[in-house]
């Protein structure tokens, strides 16, 4: 059978991995897909690199716009990244009736609604398994494997860099800045780590999963995002003493009034499987009303794990490209005319449990003042302990875990507690999820 | 749009769950599938039960053969179980051009090749996500999510009953027979627990996954199957002291000479995520050459988790029923004419590591005799320790872990060691997988 002809835009890490895996496993992939899948043209600004990776076995060009218009190409793989030229190329490819496979979470988180609408108009597939959690087939699980369910929530470790840093901080008791340097040295973090450590990358991914889970539009711009750069090693230690691990989770929940969509460091019971996902690994926990909790674990980044997801999409597109759209899995899991606009709740309205750490003067009555304020805000305490900080003197750390409460109540309580003369320094607030 | 009309055969636990979830989430499912999916007729010998579960909202009959021939039915759900009438019904349904969704692992493990050939002939879909690991979408992951990969091996906790028993045995230090009784009381084990505790159910499931992973025919009849009924609590304890947990794993590996296909109690490093899957939960670990190891975790049984998988298949069939077979995912992941007949290796030829426990007379020279025999069989020792057994006297337990070796060498060594006068009683042999 005639091979599917693929145009690859960008032959960096993932592009090179995709090229290598498609070549190495060509026979096995064709036995599954029913026909060969071949990269017939590669576009990259760095033609030298493209020549090295492909060994000159396919056409090379530095003009990606020529590739997306090329009548000899059936599918475009977009691995350029970013919002700029990648957006233009994807829209041009769609305009020319090409199917698109992309790993670009930033692009879809920001312009997904526009891109999916354009694709629908032209009746082409836009596949993006590689955009979330690398090689883990989580988009497929959400869009196809769990279709029976009303999805209740998703909580995912979906950024390997930050999970690596948090694992090292916990295991070695080191501060964030030091571990970040090590991660950069080892290649787990980029020279400018902002996208990863500030939670933006995780925000892109959870925004896409949230839309798919709830049949909602993509709402990255309304997500609450807090990274790990301000996380202190002492809180990891205290959390551990209370039986919790701290993970940077992307969380989305369906609530009666709307959808919670947030990324932040989160205390998770240490006995949960997801709390034991270490190093640069990813894992996504999905709660459905019928199936209960299911978890998906694997490598969330890297050349070949991401290539695995890109190629799975190529096989899907190869099977489905000649069908009508009614036979295809809808972009956001729900039929386009059944996607609705559920509101994303402001962070002040989310409901979760909290970890609070306060540095206080070691005086009688301090605790009474604090607990009175919490009670006024209808916040009830689940656990509490007090520790002398390392520097000693007449100060103590009070650590509290609250029961579930609305974030605005905690905001108000923290503001009031902060005015107490016996409370010294900043009040640390982290969120806690039991993930039951 | 016109609803898909489904005939449900068997309204027991899973049938009832499927009916309930389809009804409860009808709107959400239709928003995904593009049209409503309705159970229009239920066949069950117990009409009273059928009436109770459905509230009389659909046609009822005790004649399943009438349903599979009914021109008003598009899809058959087979939830009767077993090899007998279920096989006839499925083949009849196919003959009548119906698509089939089944949770029947026993049927497919034994007659899968025949059933898939018949379905291919009639160009109908046979979907069986619910046959393996309940609500976990592992068939989808293997058939569609990991298509880029040369699958190297699969290791799965795919029987909840035995995992519950092993968890209880470890946590409470109780013997198998006692925990089995508790499991029966709690409904985790059946009155006749043979299928579960002797590993047959796990054998059915790993046989299906093996075929899908390697593009092979279904070979349940050639699988090596060993259950947990002879497992002693003391070995769970010793394993734990060595840093391992014992799990009943279904394992399949691609080797140069063929395929390993086996079910047995297995020592697994305690730090592996899969070693921490407790109670009745299931988990499947898949190693692909591109993606590395991925893990899928969730409830492997129960009314609604299994219904979740049945309905996911219904949605897939609803999308694909009107397409030609080239657009569909092949039954065994590989195109029917690309499925090959890889040999299943005899158990004597598998390669793994071993745990050995020997009761010996506490005399000089015993260990020298044993290690000499192991050396003769080219078995090298990874770890060893000696323990006084509880009853004391002049006896000791020697526990050894070997490096990887071929099973026939271990068989030969055990036979020779058993003839030593200083070796008392049976030699216990368990297998160990590092799952890297």
Tens of pLDDT, residue by residue over A223-270, are 999 999 999 999 999 999 999 999 999 999 999 999 999 999 999 999
A235 part of contact set with chain B, CB < 8 Å: no
Q: How much is the pLDDT for B391?
A: 66
Rg of chain A over all Cα atoms, to the nearest angstrom:
24
B129 part of contact set with chain A, CB < 8 Å: yes
Q: How much is the pLDDT for A364?
A: 85
β-sheet bridge partners, residue B224: B262
A144 part of contact set with chain B, CB < 8 Å: yes
Task: Tally helices (H) and strands (E) across chain B.
Answer: 15, 17
Q: Which residues of A touch B311 (CB under 8 A)?
A: 147-148, 290
CB contact under 8 A, A298 and B298: no
Residue among B169, B177, B170, B209 nearest B193 (CA)? B177
With CA atoms as reference, the chain B residue closest to A278 would be B273
CA distance A278 to chain B (A): 10
Q: How much is the pLDDT for A393?
A: 74
CB contact under 8 A, B32 and A129: no
Nearest to A326 among B31, B34, B333 (CB): B34
Q: How much is the pLDDT for B390?
A: 67
CB contact under 8 A, A290 and B25: yes
Residue among A139, A154, A70, A66 nearest A101 (CA)? A139
CB contact under 8 A, B312 and A144: yes
Measured torsion, CA atoms of residues B77, B82, B85, B88, in degrees rounded to the nearest 10? 70
CB contact under 8 A, A144 and B296: no
CB contact under 8 A, A298 and B295: yes
Q: How far apart are CA B83 and CA B85, in angstroms?
A: 7
Q: From residue A114, give the alpha-carbon distance in Å to each of A108, A118, A357, B283.
A: 9, 6, 43, 38
Q: How far apart are CA A338 and CA A331, in angstroms?
A: 12
Q: How far apart are CA B165 and CA A83, in angstroms?
A: 52
Q: Going residue by residue through chain B (436 aa), what tens digit of pLDDT does each one get?
A: 899 999 999 999 999 999 999 999 999 999 999 999 999 999 999 999 999 999 989 999 999 999 999 999 999 999 999 999 999 999 999 999 999 999 999 999 999 999 999 999 999 999 999 999 999 999 999 999 999 999 999 999 999 999 999 999 999 999 999 999 999 999 999 999 999 999 999 999 999 999 999 999 999 999 999 999 999 999 999 999 999 999 999 999 999 999 999 999 999 999 999 999 999 999 999 999 999 999 999 999 999 999 999 999 999 999 999 899 899 999 999 999 999 999 999 999 999 999 999 999 988 889 999 999 999 999 999 999 998 766 667 899 999 999 999 999 999 999 999 999 999 999 999 999 999 8
CB contact under 8 A, B291 and A31: no
Helix (H) or strand (E) segment spanning residue A159? none
The answer to whether B67 and B41 are in contact (CB under 8 A) is: yes
Helix pair A26-33, A303-320: axis angle to 10 deg: 30
Q: How far apart are CA B44 and CA B63, in angstroms?
A: 7
β-sheet bridge partners, residue B263: B225, B250
With CA atoms as reference, the chain A residue closest to B340 would be A31
Q: How far apart are CA A392 and CA A414, in angstroms?
A: 24
Helix (H) or strand (E) segment spanning residue B330? none
- Class of residue A184 by CB neighbours under 10 A (exposed 0-12, middle 13-18, buried 19+): middle
- Neighbour-count burial for B72-111, b at 16+ CB within 10 Å, e otherwise: ebbbbbbbbbeeeebbebbbbbbebebbbbbbbbbbbbbb
Q: What is the DSSP annotation of B301-331?
A: SSHHHHHHHHHHHHHHHHHHTTS-GGGSPPT
Nearest to A292 among B137, B298, B319 (CB): B298
Catalytic residue positions of A? 205
CA distance B150 to chain A (A): 7
With CA atoms as reference, the chain B residue closest to A328 would be B319
B294 part of contact set with chain A, CB < 8 Å: yes
Residue among A170, A195, A197 nearest A181 (CA)? A197
Structure tokens at A108: 């879809």
Q: Which of residues 5-24 of A touch B (CB under 8 A)?
A: 17, 21-22, 24
Q: How much is the pLDDT for B25?
A: 98
- Cβ-proximal residues to A220 (8 Å cutoff; 6+ apart), any chain: A109, A110, A203, A204, A207
Q: How far apart are CA A10 and CA A79, in angstroms?
A: 5
Residue among B106, B97, B146, B154 nearest B126 (CA)? B97
Helices (H), A198-302: 200-214, 233-241
Q: How far apart are CA A164 and CA A234, in angstroms?
A: 18
Residue among B156, B158, B159, B177 nearest B168 (CA)? B177
β-sheet bridge partners, residue A358: A398
Chain A interface test: which of B2, B136, B145 (most A C-beta within 10 Å): B145
A171 part of contact set with chain B, CB < 8 Å: no
Q: Which residues of B touch A295 (CB under 8 A)?
A: 295-298
Q: How far apart are CA B272 and CA B277, in angstroms?
A: 10
- Class of residue A280 by CB neighbours under 10 A (exposed 0-12, middle 13-18, buried 19+): buried
Q: What angle do CA B216, B262, B372 make, to 5 degrees?
A: 130
The answer to whether A7 and A72 are in contact (CB under 8 A) is: no
Name the 3-class secondary structure at B240. helix
Helix pair A160-172, A176-186: axis angle to 10 deg: 120
Q: Which of residues 53-92 of B touch A (CB under 8 A)?
A: none
Nearest to A21 among B148, B294, B319 (CB): B148
CB contact under 8 A, B315 and A147: yes
CA distance B332 to chain A (A): 9
CA distance B31 to chain A (A): 5
Q: How many residues are recorded in chain A?
A: 436
Domains of chain B: 4-127 (3.40.50.720), 138-299 (3.30.360.10), 350-432 (3.30.70.260)
Q: How many residues are recorded in chain B?
A: 436
Structure tokens at B187: 């409904």
Q: How far apart are CA A268 and CA B327, in angstroms?
A: 43
Q: What is the DSSP annotation of B344-410?
A: BPPGGG-EEEEEEEEEEES-TTHHHHHHHHHHHTT--EEEEEEE--TT-TTEEEEEEEE-SEEHHHH
Q: How far apart are CA B283 and CA A276, in angstroms?
A: 15
- Neighbour-count burial for B351-373, b at 16+ CB within 10 Å, e otherwise: ebbbbbbbbbeeeeebbebbbeb
Q: How far apart are CA A282 and CA A295, in angstroms?
A: 10
CA distance B165 to chain A (A): 19
CA distance B202 to chain A (A): 20
Q: How far apart are CA A355 and CA A433, in angstroms?
A: 10
Q: Which residues of A touch B150 (CB under 8 A)?
A: 24-25, 28
- Cβ-proximal residues to A178 (8 Å cutoff; 6+ apart), any chain: none
Nearest to B308 among A148, A304, A326 (CB): A148
Q: How far apart are CA B283 and CA A274, in angstroms?
A: 13
Q: How far apart are CA A63 and CA A73, in angstroms?
A: 14
- Cβ-proximal residues to B418 (8 Å cutoff; 6+ apart), any chain: B427
**Neighbour count for residue A27 (Cβ, 10 Å):** 10
A336 part of contact set with chain B, CB < 8 Å: no
Q: How far apart are CA B38 and CA B41, in angstroms?
A: 9
Q: How far apart are CA B251 and CA A67, in angstroms?
A: 45
Ranges under pLDDT 70 in chain A: 389-392
- Neighbour-count burial for B163-178, b at 16+ CB within 10 Å, e otherwise: bbbbbbbbeeebebee
A341 part of contact set with chain B, CB < 8 Å: no
CB contact under 8 A, A145 and B312: yes
CB contact under 8 A, B144 and A277: no
Bridge-based pairing of strands A126-127 and A151-157 is unpaired
CB contact under 8 A, A305 and B290: yes
Catalytic residue positions of B? 205
CB contact under 8 A, A338 and B31: yes
Q: How much is the pLDDT for A220?
A: 98
Specify the residue for token string 């349903």: B67
Nearest to A147 among B29, B141, B305 (CB): B29
């Amino acid at each position: 059978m005639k091979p599917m002809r693929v145009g690859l835009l960008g032959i960096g890490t993932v592009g090179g991995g995709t090229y290598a895996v498609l070549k190495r496993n060509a026979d096995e992939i064709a036995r599954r897909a029913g026909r060969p899948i071949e990269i017939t043209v590669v576009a990259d600004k760095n033609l030298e690199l493209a020549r090295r990776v492909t060994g000159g076995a396919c056409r090379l060009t530095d003009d990606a716009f020529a590739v997306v218009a090329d009548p000899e190409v059936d599918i475009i793989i977009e691995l350029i990244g970013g919002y700029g030229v990648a957006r233009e190329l994807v829209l041009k490819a769609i305009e020319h009736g090409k199917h698109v496979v992309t790993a670009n979470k930033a692009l879809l988180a920001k312009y997904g609604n526009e891109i999916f609408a354009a694709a629908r108009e032209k009746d082409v597939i836009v596949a993006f398994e590689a955009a979330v959690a690398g090689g883990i087939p989580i988009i497929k699980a959400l869009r196809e494997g769990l279709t029976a369910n009303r999805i209740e929530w998703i909580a995912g470790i979906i950024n390997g860099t930050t999970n690596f840093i948090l694992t090292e901080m916990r295991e070695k008791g080191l501060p964030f800045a030091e571990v970040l340097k090590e991660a950069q040295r080892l290649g787990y973090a980029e020279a400018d780590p902002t996208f990863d450590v500030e939670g933006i990358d995780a925000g892109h991914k959870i925004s896409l999963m949230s839309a798919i889970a709830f049949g909602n539009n993509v709402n990255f711009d309304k997500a609450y995002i807090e990274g790990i750069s301000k996380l202190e090693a002492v809180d990891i230690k205290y959390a551990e003493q209370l039986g919790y691990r701290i993970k940077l989770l992307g969380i989305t929940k369906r609530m009666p009034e709307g959808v919670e969509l947030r990324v932040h460091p989160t205390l998770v019971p240490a006995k949960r499987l997801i709390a034991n996902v270490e190093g640069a690994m990813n894992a996504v926990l999905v709660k459905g009303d019928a199936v209960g909790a299911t978890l998906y674990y694997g490598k969330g980044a890297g050349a070949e794990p991401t290539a695995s997801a890109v190629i799975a999409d190529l096989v899907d597109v190869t099977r489905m490209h000649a069908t009508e759209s009614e036979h295809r899995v809808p972009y956001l899991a729900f039929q386009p005319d059944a996607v609705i606009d559920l509101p994303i709740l402001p962070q002040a309205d989310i409901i979760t449990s909290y970890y609070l750490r306060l540095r206080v003067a070691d005086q009688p009555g301090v605790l009474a003042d604090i607990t009175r304020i919490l009670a006024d805000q209808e916040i009830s305490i689940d656990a509490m302990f007090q520790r002398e900080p390392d520097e000693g003197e007449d100060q103590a750390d009070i650590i509290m875990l609250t029961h579930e409460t609305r974030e605005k109540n905690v905001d108000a309580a923290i503001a009031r507690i902060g005015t107490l003369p016996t409370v010294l320094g900043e009040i640390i607030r982290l969120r806690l999820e039991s993930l039951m």
